[in-house]
Amino acid sequence: MASEKTACILCSRNCGLTVELDNGKFVKIQGDDQHPITKGYICQKAARLEYYQNHDDRLGQPLKRQADGSFAPISWDLALQEIAEKLNHVKQSYTGNAFAFVGGGGQGNHWGGMYSRQLLSAMNSRFIYTALAQEKTGDIWVNGRLFGNQTCHTTEDIEHADYVLFIGTNPFQAHGIVNSRDTLKALQKDPNRTMVVIDPRVSETAKMADIHLQLKPSTDAYLMLAMLAIIVREGRHDKGFLTIHCTGFDSIEKELLEIDIEDYAQRADVPLELVQKVARGFATAKNACVRVDLGTQHSLHTTLNAYLEKLLYLVTGNFAKKGGNNLHTSMIPLVSHTDERKKGIRTAKHKMFPIGGLYPPNILPDEINHSGEDRIRAVWVDSANPVLTYADSKAYTTAFQQLDLLVVVDVAMTETARLAHYILPAASQYEKVEASGFNLEFPENLFHLRHPLFPPFKEALPEPEIYTRLLEKMGILPTTFPVLTKIAALEPKITARLGYMAALKILFSRKPNLQKYGSSILYRTLGTTLPKNMEAAAPLLGLTLSYTHKYYEAVKKVVYKGNKRTLGNELFNAILANKSGVIISKHKFEDIWTFLKTPDKRIHLEIPEMISELRQLATEDLTNPDFPFILMAGERRSYNANQIYRDVAWRKTDPKGVMRMHPEDAQELDIANGDEVICQSNIGRITVFVEIDKSVRRKMVSLPNGYGSRFRNGEAIGPQLNMITPSSHCETFTKTPFHKYLPVKITKLIET
Ligand code: SF4
């Protein structure tokens, strides 16, 4: 039995794990005490990872769709040759606009993304559609305006905050913060600290809170505006901070002074005294921070919510300080910056622009069905299951059936894979070099490169090999780089690597087009000098050199060896050697001001689009008599996760994914606990089982995400939420779906 180090891949925390392996299986999974951030912490979900690693839907060989709709095995060589020819045909016949890439990552598999994105360049396409763009682009866009660039991202220092606002988030179940349950318990126990939860449901976190504001679904914007108005009207804003570090406060102040606080508290259905208490407590706390999640991001006013939660900590000066909200550095940037005013970046049908470089999945079916010559004709799906996890499953199914080419790269036979022309089996996250790009910590940041624990399943290949071979087949990449390979192999390693990077630079200056395929070139050349099975880690050298160049002093504090020339290589070695992950930098709080990308290094508070939207709130009317209930879709529970668990046996509780309903609503509709009911939106209906539960508000129901897979091509088990989520039910600006505010009708299922 072997003992190894790795990480959990079920949520963005990627807790460190110590695992025992036997005969290709996980036999014991525990927290890794050596992990620099999680230090042994895990939740109950990690213990079930064997259900991800070994199950009957694993793909073990490339498959090609036959004329009768069935799949037949095909060799890797032939599959990639045929796909390469078809992709080249699409590119030559219709330009890059005809190609879209979907997915390319997940909660813990970002390393493959370094390789897969090269395909977009090879296809001259910019169209990448990812889950981030159905959740976080409102936040990303606001960051771009406030801090000068969409790559700026804030984190929250909950462990050191005296006052914490959790808005639309249930970290006890959804995690997303450092060692969530321990952090929440510490907050709860300390009489000098205050935990406030703003959530329509009495969630597990709300039960631990000092104050719970159980607002009506999707009224967060009203509540936050009421709080901001109270703070400003009572002069509790941080005038010194605003004068020195921000511009545009005068315009914000003017708007806030106009807010009818009482009316807004009433719209949120929260007692005014409680709103005042929280606003005052937050503004006067020594350190305070705000944590939000999908509850505000999948709600009405997605982008405005992002703006307002940031104003809460900025107006009170809780930024760039211990216990506040802070910008942080990143080793792998997950998003880029895009200016929506740039020409030539909009989609054909919706004329949608990218945010952070990403396009929203809500519009993809329309971009495929579009009648124009500039429609999307070929789609490449990697590590994603859009048919099940993006809004409007039927629209996705119909659109994907229209495509000239659909290729799916995945570890499992998913609902999307069943529609593909070619299915390429990927090695699981424990069968290859992997890493998470969610290194979002401050002041100490971490990077965890995970080593393979098992050989790839049957003929499955890691993404670095799949994409490199494909680029070679497409004629984009030469198959050898003899000079680079020779220099990389020279001894001693450190000078050889520096010589290698210099030679690579020369190659890129001579052939600039090759720069876009740097990951594969590093893999094929420098990779040959790395330990066996670690070849795909080669692009890390480029990342560590760039990171140490940008943050030399901060890296120097944790990696003691090395000077300005060599520190990047030392960091590379440290990451490669340490299987539990390493701290890569240690910053000072004042460094945060250097992370700002605004030309004047100040935060630009005035965003005209947001001010215009907040003015419209006063007249909004949300009543909808045809669909009297609001479904909050995607509740996080003890045994739901992202869609990578396909075998329902992984769940210890809630096998059916029940719908929570308030007892009085159930009584009114003559529904008993455990009854099967129809949950119907304006595009479809699903049947679900009811759990009567007074944790939800009246006229609100709640369903979990992560259900509805058809394991072994059988019946879907649990709610297939996206059968009832219309893609048009989204924010006009970002196209983010309103999954937390879906008007539905509930009727008892009558057996006939
Ligand atoms: S699900 Fe999240 S919090 Fe739980 S062990 Fe995995 S990474 Fe950690």
| Cα of 671 from ligand 1 centre, angstroms | 35
| Cα of 13 from ligand 1 centre, angstroms | 6
- Would you say the CB of residue 45 lies under 6 angstroms from ligand 1? yes
Nearest to 527 by CA among 551, 497, 566: 497
Beta strand ranges found along 58-149 (DSSP E): 63-65, 71-73, 99-103, 128-129
| Cα of 179 from ligand 1 centre, angstroms | 9
- Would you say the CB of residue 175 lies under 6 angstroms from ligand 1? yes
| Cα of 647 from ligand 1 centre, angstroms | 19
- Would you say the CB of residue 42 lies under 6 angstroms from ligand 1? yes
Q: Of how many residues is the chain composed? A: 752
| Cα of 8 from ligand 1 centre, angstroms | 6
- The number of the ligand 1 atom at minimal distance from the alpha carbon of 43 is 4
- List Cβ neighbours of 621 (8 Å cut-off, separation of 6 or more): none
Nearest to 41 by CA among 163, 180, 167: 180
Give the mean model confidence (pLDDT) for residues 560-588: 95
| Cα of 14 from ligand 1 centre, angstroms | 6
Whole-number pLDDT of residue 752: 60
- Would you say the CB of residue 636 lies under 6 angstroms from ligand 1? no
- Would you say the CB of residue 637 lies under 6 angstroms from ligand 1? no
- Would you say the CB of residue 13 lies under 6 angstroms from ligand 1? yes
| Cα of 524 from ligand 1 centre, angstroms | 34
Percent of the chain's residues with pLDDT above 70? 100
Q: How many CB atoms lie within 10 A of CB 54?
A: 15
Buried/exposed 556-567: b ≥16 CB within 10 Å, e otherwise: bbbbeebeeebb
Question: Going by CA atoms, what residue is nearest to atom 7 of ligand 1?
Answer: 14
| pTM higher than the cut 0.95 | yes
Q: Residue type at 594?
A: T
| Cα of 209 from ligand 1 centre, angstroms | 22
CB 529 within 8 A of CB 600: no
And the tokens for 542?
């480029």
How far is Cα 139 from Cα 631, in angstroms, rounded to an integer? 23
- The number of the ligand 1 atom at minimal distance from the alpha carbon of 38 is 8
Of 17, 43, 184, 652, the one to substitute when testing ligand 1's pocket (max ligand atoms within 8 A of C-beta) is 43
750 band by pLDDT with thresholds 50, 70 and 90 = confident
- Would you say the CB of residue 448 lies under 6 angstroms from ligand 1? no
- Would you say the CB of residue 43 lies under 6 angstroms from ligand 1? yes
3-class SS of residue 586: strand
- Would you say the CB of residue 8 lies under 6 angstroms from ligand 1? yes
Q: Tokens 């995400």 — which residue?
A: 705
Q: Tokens 């009405």 — which residue?
A: 300
8 band by pLDDT with thresholds 50, 70 and 90 = very high
| Cα of 190 from ligand 1 centre, angstroms | 25
pLDDT tens per residue, range 608-644: 999 999 999 988 887 888 999 999 999 999 999 878 8
- The number of the ligand 1 atom at minimal distance from the alpha carbon of 7 is 7
Q: Residue 583 — φ and ψ, nearest 5°?
A: -75, 130
How far is Cα 57 from Cα 410, in angstroms, rounded to an integer? 11
CB 91 within 8 A of CB 115: no
| Cα of 42 from ligand 1 centre, angstroms | 6
How far is Cα 441 from Cα 588, in angstroms, rounded to an integer? 13
Percent of the chain's residues with pLDDT above 90? 93
How far is Cα 318 from Cα 323, in angstroms, rounded to an integer? 8
Q: What are the CA-CA distances from residue 539 to residues 425, 437, 478 (Å)?
A: 23, 14, 18
- The number of the ligand 1 atom at minimal distance from the alpha carbon of 179 is 3
pLDDT tens per residue, range 710-739: 999 999 999 999 999 999 999 999 999 999
- Would you say the CB of residue 15 lies under 6 angstroms from ligand 1? yes
Whole-number pLDDT of residue 625: 86
Q: What are the CA-CA distances from residue 507 to residues 76, 454, 517 (Å)?
A: 30, 35, 12
- The number of the ligand 1 atom at minimal distance from the alpha carbon of 31 is 5
- Would you say the CB of residue 349 lies under 6 angstroms from ligand 1? no
Nearest to 107 by CA among 186, 68, 52, 37: 52
pLDDT tens per residue, range 188-223: 999 999 999 999 999 999 999 999 999 999 999 999
Of 32, 50, 175, the one to substitute when testing ligand 1's pocket (max ligand atoms within 8 A of C-beta) is 175
Q: How many CB atoms lie within 10 A of CB 549?
A: 12
Whole-number pLDDT of residue 711: 95
Handedness of CA 370, 374, 378, 381 (dihedral sign): negative
Facing residues of 326 across strands?
Answer: 155
Q: How many CB atoms lie within 10 A of CB 386?
A: 29
The more confidently predicted of residues 1 and 85 is 85
- Domains, in order of start, for the chain: 2-53 (3.30.200.210), 63-135+337-425 (3.40.50.740), 154-327 (3.40.228.10), 620-748 (2.40.40.20)
pLDDT tens per residue, range 370-421: 998 999 999 999 999 999 999 999 999 999 999 999 999 999 999 999 999 9
pLDDT tens per residue, range 96-148: 789 999 998 777 788 999 999 999 999 999 999 999 999 999 999 999 999 99
Average pLDDT, the chain: 96
* Full DSSP string of 333-395: -S-----TTSTT-S-TTT-PPPBTTBB-GGGHHHHHH--STTS--EEEEES--HHHHSS-HHH
Give the mean model confidence (pLDDT) for residues 38-52: 96
| Cα of 580 from ligand 1 centre, angstroms | 15
Q: Residue 555 — φ and ψ, nearest 5°?
A: -75, -40
CB 426 within 8 A of CB 384: no
How far is Cα 508 from Cα 551, in angstroms, rounded to an integer? 24
| Cα of 691 from ligand 1 centre, angstroms | 26
- Would you say the CB of residue 11 lies under 6 angstroms from ligand 1? yes
| Cα of 45 from ligand 1 centre, angstroms | 6
Handedness of CA 561, 563, 564, 568 (dihedral sign): negative
Question: Going by CA atoms, what residue is nearest to atom 4 of ligand 1?
Answer: 43
Q: Is the peptide bond before 191 cis (omega within 30 degrees of 0)?
A: no
Facing residues of 71 across strands?
Answer: 65
pLDDT tens per residue, range 230-281: 999 999 999 999 999 999 999 999 999 999 999 999 999 999 999 999 999 9
Q: Residue 405 — φ and ψ, nearest 5°?
A: -150, 125
Of 35, 42, 438, the one to substitute when testing ligand 1's pocket (max ligand atoms within 8 A of C-beta) is 42
How far is Cα 196 from Cα 164, in angstroms, rounded to an integer? 6
3-class SS of residue 216: coil
Q: How many helices (H) and strands (E) does the chain have?
A: 27, 28
DSSP assigned state of 319:
B
Whole-number pLDDT of residue 620: 86
Nearest to 37 by CA among 490, 513, 582, 425: 582
CB 740 within 8 A of CB 218: yes
Residue 527, pLDDT above cutoff 90:
yes
3-class SS of residue 189: helix
Whole-number pLDDT of residue 292: 98
pLDDT tens per residue, range 345-370: 999 999 999 999 999 999 999 999 99
Facing residues of 359 across strands?
Answer: 129
Facing residues of 676 across strands?
Answer: 689
Question: Going by CA atoms, what residue is nearest to atom 5 of ligand 1?
Answer: 42
- The number of the ligand 1 atom at minimal distance from the alpha carbon of 17 is 5
How far is Cα 487 from Cα 119, in angstroms, rounded to an integer? 27
- Would you say the CB of residue 17 lies under 6 angstroms from ligand 1? no
Residue 298, pLDDT above cutoff 70:
yes
Q: Residue 242 — φ and ψ, nearest 5°?
A: -65, -40
| Cα of 404 from ligand 1 centre, angstroms | 39
Whole-number pLDDT of residue 18: 98
Q: Residue 483 — φ and ψ, nearest 5°?
A: -65, -45
21's enclosing H/E stretch is strand 16-22
Residue 549, pLDDT above cutoff 70:
yes
| Cα of 30 from ligand 1 centre, angstroms | 11
